[in-house]
Amino acid sequence: MTPDSDSLGIVVAHLSHAYAPTAGTGVRALDDVSLVVPPGSFHALLGPSGCGKSTLLYCIGGFLPVQSGSIRTARGVVTGPGPERGVVFQNFALFPWKTVRENVLYGIGKRGVRGAEARDRAQHFIDLVHLTGFEENFPGQLSGGMQQRAALARTLAAEPDILLMDEPFGALDAQTRRIMQEELLGIWRQTQKTVVFVTHDVAEAVYLADTISVMSARPGRISRSLAAGFNRDSDPAVFKRPAFTELVEQIWEMVRAEVDQARRPALAAPVVAPA
């Protein structure tokens, strides 16, 4: 059943994507991927390295072409980048010559907002990510976690309906990562954005997401999608619950099986003895 346009979050239908060969044969990254992300939900993508998680994310973002199949949002068919889809990268992607305020204003400027309204809106999102007092700092003067907060504020300031997040906390230390996870959930609960979140961390996915899709070894397919929903509970002790631990282990076994499959060498061709 296909959702109607009023209730559409993200609908990926039979998506395939291959990278052109640099030498020899090309690489088929995605093969017949179908996925429905309801509006306002938080969806995580897991799978072995090279399974196409980021490729799928960038296809949804419009940065890679849809070669086969389709992607739709409430704004219509995805044919390229659009203002309703904001992307948060692992490497922060801030302008190093701009202050925090200027970086956030850049996102607002993409919406055509200027003057006092833009400054007020920038301050709102700076406050939202708890960077109040650091408005005039440059990225090089901030910690990794603070830089990611600034990147998130810049993306949110453009007021996208959808947040696409490519391992945004992967470069952070464990303590900062936990704090950023909590901050992201707080922002998500407040804004009700539709989120697609790529990660290698199973516990992170279970903590953050409503639904988790495990992708197969390349070419990437959706092997299985599971409900989580711990993100609806603000209890910080959720990590200690048996149900949480059991789901982490269940999903980890699925990911491990796909990792093993990715490492398995191709079967050698049978040797035919000479006549």
* Partners of 15 in beta bridges: 33
Residue 105 lies in a domain: yes
Residue 49 lies in a domain: no
Per the prediction, the chain carries an average pLDDT of 88
Helix (H), strand (E) at residue 56: helix 53-61
- 53-79: pLDDT as tens digits: 999 999 999 999 999 999 999 999 999
Q: Give the C-alpha distances (Å, rounded to integers) separating 268 from 25, 113, 195, 219, 271.
A: 19, 61, 42, 20, 9
C-alpha closest to that of 44 among 254, 240, 274, 219:
254
Residue 31 lies in a domain: no
Residue 108 lies in a domain: yes
C-alpha closest to that of 131 among 191, 205, 192, 187:
187
Residue 44 lies in a domain: no
Residue 68 lies in a domain: no
- 195-216: pLDDT as tens digits: 999 999 999 999 999 999 999 9
Indicate the number of domains in the chain: 1
- 97-123: pLDDT as tens digits: 999 999 999 878 877 788 899 999 999
Do residues 15 and 167 touch, judged by C-beta distance below 8 A? Answer: no
Please compute the mean of the pLDDT values over residues 10-33 and round it to a whole number.
85
| pTM for the structure as a whole | 0.88
C-alpha dihedral (163, 166, 167, 172), degrees to nearest 10 = -80
C-alpha closest to that of 105 among 116, 89, 90:
116
Hey, which bits of the chain come out as E strands? 10-19, 27-37, 42-46, 68-73, 76-77, 85-88, 162-166, 194-198, 211-215, 222-227
> What's the pLDDT score for residue 22?
63
Identify the residue with better confidence: 86 or 267.
Answer: 86
The region that residue 159 occupies, defined by phi over 0 for left and psi between -120 and 50 for alpha, beta otherwise, is: left
Residue 129 lies in a domain: yes
pLDDT bucket at 25, cuts 50 / 70 / 90: low
Please compute the mean of the pLDDT values over residues 10-32 and round it to a whole number.
85
Do residues 200 and 259 touch, judged by C-beta distance below 8 A? Answer: no
C-alpha closest to that of 50 among 239, 245, 216, 236:
216
Residue 219 lies in a domain: no
Task: Give the separation between CA 176 and CA 169, rounded to whole angstroms.
Answer: 8
By CB atoms closer than 10 A (0-12, 13-18, 19+), residue 124 is middle
Domain hosting 101: range is 85-159
By CB atoms closer than 10 A (0-12, 13-18, 19+), residue 227 is exposed
Identify the residue with better confidence: 152 or 233.
Answer: 152
Query: Phi/psi of residue 12, each to 5°?
Result: -105, 125
Q: 144-168 burial string, b = 16+ CB within 10 Å, else e?
A: ebbbbbbbbbbbbbbbbbbbbbbbb
Q: Is the pLDDT of residue 269 over 60?
A: no
